[in-house]
Structure 1
Amino acid sequence: MRYLSLPPGHLTTAQAAEAAGVTPAVIRYWVRIGRLTRCGGSPRYPTFRVLDVDAARKAAAAAKAA
């Protein structure tokens, strides 16, 4: 399922990775450890909220700094 259009404020895995400055593998890792939650899409093509991606990025930065 490829997206023709996404709801406002939602990102694909690739877009979330670009927005957070990480790779798509890191986005999938954040989902696996519970740092980021999917908000829609399908299991193969999830979508994420922009605010959730930003919060996950900040949490990762804080964990790295500690």
Structure 2
Amino acid sequence: MEYLSLPPGLLTTSLAARAAGVAPATIRDWVRRGILTRSGGTPKRPIYRVADVQAARRAAKPTRPGQRSA
């Protein structure tokens, strides 16, 4: 279940993924790797700042030969 309403500038995991053009699993991976930080929510329903998602998208680069870029 998603949040019914979020303050402006905040995104759920699925909305952050849509905004960055990646899968929700990629958002969770960015958090695990320290590229993106949560800005609140609960452990099961984190929220992220739009600016942080955009910065993470720019920072996330392919690290292995043959890995696709976004």
- In the superposition, the TM-score normalised over structure 1's length comes to 0.88
Unaligned residue ranges in structure 2 (runs of 5+): 64-70
Following TM superposition, by how much is the alpha carbon of 1:2 offset from its aligned partner in structure 2, in angstroms?
A: 3.8
Following TM superposition, by how much is the alpha carbon of 1:19 offset from its aligned partner in structure 2, in angstroms?
A: 0.3
Following TM superposition, by how much is the alpha carbon of 1:45 offset from its aligned partner in structure 2, in angstroms?
A: 0.3
Amino acid at match of 1:10: L
Unaligned residue ranges in structure 1 (runs of 5+): none
Instruction: Tell me the residue number matched to 1:28.
Output: 28
Moved over 3 A (4+): none
- In the superposition, the TM-score normalised over structure 2's length comes to 0.84
Higher helix share: 1
| Aligned-CA RMSD value | 1.5
SS at match of 1:43: coil
Count of aligned residue pairs for this structure pair = 63
Instruction: Tell me the residue number matched to 1:37.
Output: 37
Higher strand share: 1
SS at match of 2:62: helix
The 5 Å alignment of 1:1-66 reads: 2-60=2-60, 63-64=61-62
